[in-house]
Structure 1
Amino acid sequence: MQELLQNFFNLDIYRSVTPYLLEGLLTTVWLSALVIPLGLAFGLLAAVLSQEMHNRVLRALLVVYIDVFRALPPLVLLIFIYFGLPFLNIGIPKLAAVALCFTLNTSSYFGEVFRAGFESVPKGQMEAARSTGLSRLQALIHVQIPQATRAVMPDLISNMLEVVKLTTLASAVSLPELLYLARNAQALLYNPSPLVLAAILYLIILLPIVRYLSKLEKRKLARMSH
Structure 2
Amino acid sequence: MSITTKTSPSIDVAFHAADKAAVLAKFGVADVNGPVSLVIWTTTPWTLPANRAISLSPEFDYALVQVDGQALILAKDLVDSVMKRAGIADYTILAVVNGAELELMRFKHPFLDFDVPAILGDHVTLDAGTGAVHTAPGHGPDDYVIGQKYGLEVANPVGPDGAYLPGTYPTLDGVNVFKANDVVVALLSEKGALLHVEKMQHSYPCCWRHKTPIIFRATPQWFREHGSKRSAQTVAFRNQRRAVDP
TM range (shorter): under 0.3
Q: Whose strand fraction is larger, Structure 1's or Structure 2's?
A: 2
- TM-score (norm: length of structure 2): 0.21
Q: Which has the higher helix share?
A: 1
Q: Highest relative contact order (Cα 8 Å, sep 6+), 1 or 2?
A: 1
Give the TM-score normalised by the residue count of structure 1: 0.23
